[in-house]
A and B are shown apart, each in its own frame.
Chain A
Amino acid sequence: MYKLTHLKELESESIYVLREVAAQFERPAILFSGGKDSIVVTYLAYKAFYPAKIPFPLLHIDTGHNFQETLDYRDALVEKLGAQLIVGSVQESIDTGRVKEEKGYNASRNRLQTTTLLDTIEKYKFDACIGGARRDEEKARAKERFFSHRDEFGQWNPKNQRPELWNIFNGRKNMGEHFRVFPISNWTEMDVWQYIYQENIPLPSLYFTHERKCFLRDGQWLAAEPCMTLKPIEVVETRRVRCRTIGDITCTGLTISEANNLEDIISEIAATRVTERGGRADDKRSETAMEDRKKEGYF
């Protein structure tokens, strides 16, 4: 008797969306951050077009504040897939005066990425950027479409989105406009981990427990890397931690954890009572921080 599991159905939907991107757009790219969601999207793209190569380059917006493990993983994956890698550098945007670096202890390049991203999209004339955002992550993302239209300023207009019915995706656009496409919109954090487990997808070591120099700020452990400025009262300690999400160092919270394999991580997530973005400093800036950044053109 045939059994349609939730992971099979989600996988099938995502592959369908990725193939629609390849069919409807001229210059798509995968927004690759090195986090588990963009890793899963890239893996699904591999499946969608096998035995042909993924027909889009991977685009990484590098804040210059990335964990070395993320960059190593990215380079190894690109080589394995035979994919093209394009890097947009936030440092370069700062150096050329496109953006101004934030000051203070909570300074982050998270928001600056938007300018670098939009500049890179324009430079390479990308007409669809595929991202790993999920609707369960954040309340503004809960209203996001699979095919999300962006105007010529790269902005999102959440009040007037195109209705999306059945599995018909409308990627028509005018010159200068582009789309963000989110193939794993319907996946939850748990689905992503279960899928990684089922498919045995390799992940950056940051997701598993390791010893790291870190410090506590506002109840959240952060990595004590050179790009972080510590307040006088903050003390660097060595702890056994892992990342639940991976972003820029300045906004990636670390979880005290002994989980060193996927089964343990899944158990840990099943028991947790805090969302994964609960550890993200970038979302805590205001009640609608994500929506505000998304409107400007953020991921």
Chain B
Amino acid sequence: MNTNGYLDMELLRFTTAGSVDDGKSTLIGRLLYDSKSIFEDQLEAVEAASRSRGNEEVNLALLTDGLRAEREQGITIDVAYRYFATPKRKFIIADTPGHVQYTRNMVTGASTADLAIILIDARNGVVEQTVRHSYIASLLGIPFITVCVNKMDLVDFSEDVFNEICLNYKKMAETIGIRAELRFIPISAKHGDNVVTDSTNMPWYDGGTLMNLLETVSIDHKMGDSAQPMRMPVQYVIRPISDKFPDYRAYAGRMAGGVLRAGDRIRVLPSGLESTVKSIMQDDKELEIAHTPESVSVLLNDDIDISRGDMLVPATAQQPVITQQLKMRCCWFNETEMQLRKRYIIRTAVAETVGMVQSVDYKVDVNTLEKVEGVSSLKMNDIAVINVKTSQPLVVDDYASNRITGSLIFIDPDSFETIGAGMVVVES
């Protein structure tokens, strides 16, 4: 058996946005079913569950709505992760529906996504919800947005309808400043047109199927190239303290940007101390070069003080910001409102400090995208630009340039729940 194929696959994470009425579950069901990722016992279970609920057609939403409360109430409470693979790629879908916690769910699902699928009902065109979904996808810095104009069968597979929706979407995208690369595909999830197989109903469209796009869209943004400044947040210090490795001291972390080579001159932040890379280890193998997003451990030539929360960066290339005064876009997740000057725990990937919100520049109405000024608290699902002061300096990048070193969360100091997310804005 030839095993080269599957050891050579790539990984793409995407998120799907749209309401039940847009046919999102049908689309996901279609992708899973046509890629043979739904198993017989799963399908049987879903068929039986659909029948017992009196549904006439198989309700594919029951595949993802696994929790008892979800199945009883016919709603989706939480982000569900789904997996499927083709010979070329493995896919992780963050399916982010939800009613009350919609924004929170979508922000969560979007935070790790490489691509967002935005579903539009061909009969309705660009609606308020489309704007909201696109805004969140853009806010979270998803590099690719794919607009699927669904239910083309219900508009007679009309090219004019499709073109008009594309035009309207592009106008909207320009207004809200979407930087993601846009693609438009006319589909019928229910009948399978342009999902996995080319549609014979739309000979005027030759842009390829959704599956073809998912299999071929670039994933280069995940890997640091030499042009991106190197970032390695230190997670943990490996010290075996054994006879075989008496003075061994390696800094473990996951590459968050660029590449690191043995011999590179590096700087440790926030201390500013410098050294050179003696060697890079990946478990028991020594690497010449470490790429983003690999987990590695780094040995240095000098004995300097480094601990969890520090960041290794290049000695010469572009530096992150070290600051106690942060501006950020923030999404609030909790029923307990955000209060000015209240102390919250603030955590980046590896560092933690205490901070307080000093002021809110403005809140964004996610439906109209209007800026609302004069706000002094944030409710659940609110998105705002805020100013935060921290007790210790944090090492951060602008979120637009690095999603890992530019992001943080707010933790409630009493319940320890994750109550908000921040995307750092570095004004140049």
Do residues A142 and B82 form an inter-chain contact, with CB atoms below 8 A? yes
Interface string of B152-179 (1 = CB under 8 A from A): 0000000000000000000000000000
**CA of A4 to CA of B292, assembled, Å:** 9
Do residues B244 and A194 form an inter-chain contact, with CB atoms below 8 A? no
Q: Which of B80, B240, B407 contacts A142 (CB 8 A)?
A: B80
**Which of B63-71, B203-211, B321-329 lies on the face that meets chain A?**
B63-71
Given the known inter-chain contacts A4-B219, A7-B7, A191-B90, please indicate yes or no for A48 contacting B83, CB distance below 8 A.
no
Contacts A158-B69, A164-B418, A275-B42 aside, 6 further interface pairs with beta carbons under 8 A come to: A139-B65, A163-B421, A165-B111, A170-B411, A263-B3, A266-B3
Q: Which of B7, B78, B104, B112 contacts A143 (CB 8 A)?
A: B78
**CA of A174 to CA of B416, assembled, Å:** 8
Do residues B7 and A5 form an inter-chain contact, with CB atoms below 8 A? yes
**CA of A138 to CA of B81, assembled, Å:** 11
Do residues A4 and B10 form an inter-chain contact, with CB atoms below 8 A? yes
**Which of A14-22, A58-66, A227-235 lies on the face that meets chain B?**
A14-22
**CA of A185 to CA of B79, assembled, Å:** 14
Q: Is B40 an interface residue (CB 8 A)?
A: yes
On A, residues with C-beta under 8 Å from B are 2-13, 15-16, 19-20, 22-23, 46-53, 135-136, 138-143, 158-159, 161-168, 170, 172-174, 185-186, 188, 190-191, 194, 197-198, 263-264, 266-267, 272-275, 278, 287-288, 291-292
**Contacting residues, chain A, for B262 (C-beta < 8 A):** none
Min C-beta distance of A194 to chain B, whole Å: 5
Do residues B83 and A136 form an inter-chain contact, with CB atoms below 8 A? yes
**CA of A168 to CA of B348, assembled, Å:** 6
Min C-beta distance of B176 to chain A, whole Å: 22
**CA of A170 to CA of B345, assembled, Å:** 10
Given the known inter-chain contacts A165-B407, A275-B42, please indicate yes or no for A6 contacting B9, CB distance below 8 A.
yes
List 7 A-B pairs, minimum CB-CB distance, nearest first: A139-B66, A172-B416, A47-B283, A6-B11, A52-B240, A15-B295, A165-B111
Min C-beta distance of B329 to chain A, whole Å: 13
**CA of A53 to CA of B243, assembled, Å:** 13
**Contacting residues, chain A, for B90 (C-beta < 8 A):** 6, 188, 191
**CA of A119 to CA of B328, assembled, Å:** 44
Which residue on chain B has the smallest CB distance to residue A277?
B41
**Contacting residues, chain A, for B112 (C-beta < 8 A):** 165-167
Min C-beta distance of A157 to chain B, whole Å: 11
State which residues 22-81 of B face A: CB under 8 Å.
39-42, 45, 49, 63-69, 71, 77-81
Given the known inter-chain contacts A9-B11, A48-B295, A50-B283, please indicate yes or no for A159 contacting B69, CB distance below 8 A.
yes
Do residues A143 and B11 form an inter-chain contact, with CB atoms below 8 A? no
**Which of B142-150, B231-239, B270-278 lies on the face that meets chain A?**
B231-239
Residue of B79, B82, B345 ringed by the most chain A CB atoms within 10 A: B79
Which residue on chain B has the smallest CB distance to residue A7?
B7
Do residues B418 and A52 form an inter-chain contact, with CB atoms below 8 A? no
**Contacting residues, chain B, for A267 (C-beta < 8 A):** 1
Which residue on chain B has the smallest CB distance to residue A164?
B108
- Chain B: interface size category: 35 or more
**CA of A158 to CA of B10, assembled, Å:** 31
Q: Which of A50, A167, A168, A275 contacts B281 (CB 8 A)?
A: A50
Min C-beta distance of A163 to chain B, whole Å: 4
**CA of A264 to CA of B69, assembled, Å:** 40
Q: Is B131 an interface residue (CB 8 A)?
A: no
Which residue on chain B has the smallest CB distance to residue A194?
B6
**CA of A49 to CA of B223, assembled, Å:** 23
**Contacting residues, chain B, for A51 (C-beta < 8 A):** 238, 240, 242, 244-245, 248, 284
Q: Which of A9, A15, A162 contacts B418 (CB 8 A)?
A: A162
Do residues B41 and A8 form an inter-chain contact, with CB atoms below 8 A? no
State which residues 304-349 of B face A: CB under 8 Å.
308, 333, 345, 347-349
Which residue on chain A has the smallest CB distance to residue B225?
A2
Which residue on chain B has the smallest CB distance to residue A278?
B41
Q: Which of B67, B222, B244 contacts A288 (CB 8 A)?
A: B67
Do residues B11 and A52 form an inter-chain contact, with CB atoms below 8 A? no
Which residue on chain A has the smallest CB distance to residue B76?
A143
**Contacting residues, chain A, for B269 (C-beta < 8 A):** none
Do residues A19 and B252 form an inter-chain contact, with CB atoms below 8 A? yes
**CA of A139 to CA of B42, assembled, Å:** 9
Do residues B7 and A12 form an inter-chain contact, with CB atoms below 8 A? no
Min C-beta distance of A62 to chain B, whole Å: 29
Min C-beta distance of B245 to chain A, whole Å: 5
**Contacting residues, chain A, for B215 (C-beta < 8 A):** none
**Contacting residues, chain A, for B254 (C-beta < 8 A):** 12, 15-16, 167
Which residue on chain A has the smallest CB distance to residue B239?
A52
Do residues A52 and B238 form an inter-chain contact, with CB atoms below 8 A? yes
Which residue on chain A has the smallest CB distance to residue B79?
A143
State which residues 218-269 of B face A: CB under 8 Å.
219, 222-223, 235-236, 238-242, 244-245, 248, 252-254
Do residues B409 and A165 form an inter-chain contact, with CB atoms below 8 A? yes
Q: Is B386 an interface residue (CB 8 A)?
A: no
Can you spell out 12 A-B residue pairs with CB atoms less than 8 angstroms apart? Answer: A2-B223, A6-B10, A19-B236, A53-B240, A139-B64, A139-B67, A143-B67, A159-B78, A173-B416, A197-B7, A274-B40, A288-B68
